Amino acid sequence: MTAMVDDIERELLQTVRQMRATRIAQVLDFARFLISVDPAPVNGEEQELSDWDIQVQQVDQEQRAYERQHKEILAQYRGRYVAMRHGKVIDHDIDRVALRRRIRKQYGNVPFFFTLVEDEPVQTFWMRSPHLVTDET
């Protein structure tokens, strides 16, 4: 397992070195996000994923499928909310809450990827709330 991880790390490094700086920043962002939803175990052993963690992984897969098809989906659903599963748009609506309720009613607690279809495949939000930190050293 360690050897495989070493191989992947080496390949990742080689791949990143071929990228533009902006792409490298995106890879770093995504790596940090993966750590946030699935942190590495402290003792080095693989932990069993909870159902919640597995759902997060499944939705992430759907999001990657969305990003790959973004151009086509944008052409068809711009400004609408879509629900995706198995790489396909299952339903859409202009009302976010109505779409989610309809999907939950029909499919139950099955992981879906929900998004508003916009020009950028990954939605960006702004946060302008810095905290003043006192140096206590």
Q: Which residues contact another protein by CB under 8 A? A: 25, 29-30, 32-33, 36-37, 51-52, 55-56, 59-60, 63, 96-97, 100-101, 104, 109, 111, 113-115, 122-130
In whole angstroms, how close is the CB of 26 to another protein at the nearest point?
9
Sign of CA dihedral 65, 122, 29, 16: positive
CB nearer to another protein: pick between 2 and 126: 126
In whole angstroms, how close is the CB of 128 to another protein at the nearest point?
4
Question: Residue 34 and residue 59: Cα distance in Å, rounded?
Answer: 12
Q: Read out DSSP for 41-109?
A: PTTSSPPPPPHHHHHHHHHHHHHHHHHHTHHHHHHHHTTSEEEEETTEEEEEES-HHHHHHHHHHHH-S
CB nearer to another protein: pick between 11 and 67: 67
**Is 112 in contact with 85 (CB distance < 8 Å)?**
yes
In whole angstroms, how close is the CB of 129 to another protein at the nearest point?
4
CB nearer to another protein: pick between 7 and 53: 53
In whole angstroms, how close is the CB of 88 to another protein at the nearest point?
16
**What tokens appear for 60 in the block?**
């992430």
CB nearer to another protein: pick between 2 and 36: 36
